[in-house]
Homo-oligomer: A and B are copies of this chain.
């Protein structure tokens, strides 16, 4: 046990300067994560979520992929430090509270500022898939609110 410990220390000293022993580049392969169904309180319709990574402190980003079947969407919600959505497939909708609904397509990038109430999801006729990168504040990355009742395309 002592020998194993000493060997561990030697290996540690042999690693490159400035690179912590456990800080490794992590690749999450497309389609490799078992999807979880979105909690019905927070979503309308069929939504699948795949966790991708949680950054180690001092970084505070968390990442995931979310797939919305046609007509599926989040409830109204906000993020304490904002969120980036990268639309990776399909056509979707995004709406900020008090603003018109906007259509988004594969390749579009959406920046949702801290504290802004909004929802996102698929259109009625297309699936939508996005990568979400969110900064967590003290481990919290979302505040859930009421469900979206009716979608008013005129805001």
Contacts and interface: CB of A to CB of B under 8 A. Distances in A.
Nearest to A78: B18
Interface of A: 15-16, 18-20, 23-31, 52-53, 55-56, 58-61, 63, 65, 78, 81-82, 84, 86, 88, 94, 96-99, 102, 104-118, 131, 133, 135, 137
Given A30-B105, A59-B81, A61-B135, A113 B18 contact: no
Given A25-B110, A61-B133, A112-B25, A19 B98 contact: yes
B19 A117 contact: yes
Contact of A28 (B23, B31, B108, B133): B108
17 contacts: A19-B116, A19-B117, A23-B115, A24-B116, A25-B110, A25-B116, A26-B110, A26-B113, A27-B102, A28-B108, A28-B110, A30-B105, A52-B111, A55-B81, A55-B111, A55-B135, A63-B84
